[in-house]
């Protein structure tokens, strides 16, 4: 049934109005119940990002998709936390046909080797992949990254890198992703550099890298990164360690705290 409101206001304007509420979940929930025609636009924002970070979240999510499987197509960004138990997150990601951004928290890579093939159906859509609070085994990272042929943004946040000589073997097609933005906000920059320079499937260079967001703290190795990519970086964001951690080490300057 067409409401009087809909006859008066073009749907494009209704969409525009709902767009303004993109960061207000309660308002979007209310909007989605107003009329069928409002539901799609409301859900487009409401489910654009899904955070599966606790067992309770997983439970609620499973119940939600059982009752409303159509919401899967609205998910464009997913945050998964696989810290404690094995989570079939790759299979879950594969169920989101519009998925573009993946953020993975708290896992030991790779706990999900067997499932890697599952994500190949949506791998072409993925443009952003971020690893946070994760124990990273550098030789295992590149095969995962290279599953995403259109990857533009790669992030390491708070990841710990553990050296291992055993490469991850995946029988998947590997591509050289056109990464233009890299964010390394971790103290373990040395380990990340190992990922960059010594992958089991050597990536000659990140020739498309243009934007670098890098953490400057203790024990980093900025030299190799600067020498390798300094000439092509046009945007540099230096993430500085603050004095709260009693360290403000940029350059040779080491401030001394007075008591």
Chain residues in the site for other proteins (CB under 8 A): 213, 216, 220, 222-223, 226-227, 230-244, 248, 250-253, 255-258
Task: Output DSSP code: residue 77.
Answer: E
Q: Considering beta carbons, is residue 8 or 252 the nearer one to other proteins? A: 252
Shortest approach of other proteins to residue 235 CB, angstroms?
4
Q: Is 151:128 a contact under the CB 8 Å cutoff?
A: yes
User: Shortest gap between Cβ of 223 and other proteins (angstroms)?
Assistant: 5
Q: Which is nearer to other proteins, 75 or 192 (CB)?
A: 192
Q: What is the DSSP string of 183-227?
A: EEESS-HHHHHHHHH--SS-----TT--EEEEEE-TT--HHHHHH
**172, β-bridge pairs:** none
Tokens of 135: 């124990």
Q: Report the residue number, 27 or 35, with the smaller CB distance to other proteins.
A: 27
* Residue 109 Cβ vs other proteins, minimum distance, rounded to whole Å: 26
Beta strand pairing call for 211-216 and 235-240: parallel
Least Å distance, CB 213 to other proteins, is 8
The smaller minimum CB distance to other proteins, of residues 173 and 230, is found at 230
The CB-of-241 to other proteins minimum distance in angstroms stands at 8
Size of the chain, expressed as the number of residues it contains: 259
Beta strands in 36-152 (DSSP E): 49-52, 77-81, 101-105, 128-132, 135-136
When the beta carbons of 39 and 248 are compared against other proteins, the nearer one is 248
Closest by CA to 61, choosing from 98, 33, 104, 91, is: 91
The alpha carbon of 239 is separated from its chain's Cα centroid by a whole number of angstroms, namely: 18
Residues 6+ apart with CB under 8 A from 50: 61, 75, 77, 78, 79, 96
Nearer Cβ to other proteins (113/241): 241
| Cα separation, 119 vs 148, whole angstroms | 9
Of the pair 172, 247, the CB lying nearest other proteins is at 247
- Tell me how far CA of residue 63 lies from CA of 67, 115, 242, in angstroms: 7, 22, 43
- Rounded to a whole number of angstroms, the minimum distance from the CB of residue 258 to other proteins is 5
Closest distance of CB 236 from other proteins, Å = 5
């Amino acid at each position: 049934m067409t409401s009087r409101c809909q006859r008066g206001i073009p749907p494009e304007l209704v969409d525009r109005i709902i767009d303004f509420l993109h960061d207000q979940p309660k308002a979007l929930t209310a909007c989605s119940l107003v009329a069928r025609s409002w539901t799609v636009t409301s859900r487009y924002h409401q489910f654009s990002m899904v955070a599966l970070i606790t067992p309770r979240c997983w439970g609620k999510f499973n119940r939600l998709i059982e009752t409303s499987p159509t919401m899967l197509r609205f998910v464009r960004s997913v945050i998964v936390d696989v810290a404690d138990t094995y989570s079939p997150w790759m299979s879950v990601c594969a169920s989101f046909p519009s998925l573009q951004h993946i953020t993975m928290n708290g896992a030991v890579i790779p706990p999900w080797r067997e499932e890697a093939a599952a994500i190949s159906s949506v791998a072409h859509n993925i443009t952003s992949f971020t690893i946070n609070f994760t124990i990273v085994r550098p030789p295992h990272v590149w095969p995962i990254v290279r599953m995403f042929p259109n990857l533009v943004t790669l992030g390491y946040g708070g990841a710990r890198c553990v050296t291992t000589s055993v490469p991850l073997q995946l029988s998947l097609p590997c591509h050289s992703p056109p990464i233009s933005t890299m964010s390394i906000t971790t103290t373990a920059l040395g380990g990340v550099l190992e990922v960059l320079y010594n992958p089991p499937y050597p990536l000659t260079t990140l020739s498309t890298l243009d934007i670098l967001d890098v953490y400057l703290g203790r024990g980093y190795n900025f030299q190799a990164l600067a020498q390798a990519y300094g000439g092509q970086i046009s945007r540099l964001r230096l993430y500085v360690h603050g004095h709260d951690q009693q360290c403000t080490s940029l350059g040779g300057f080491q401030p001394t705290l007075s008591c």
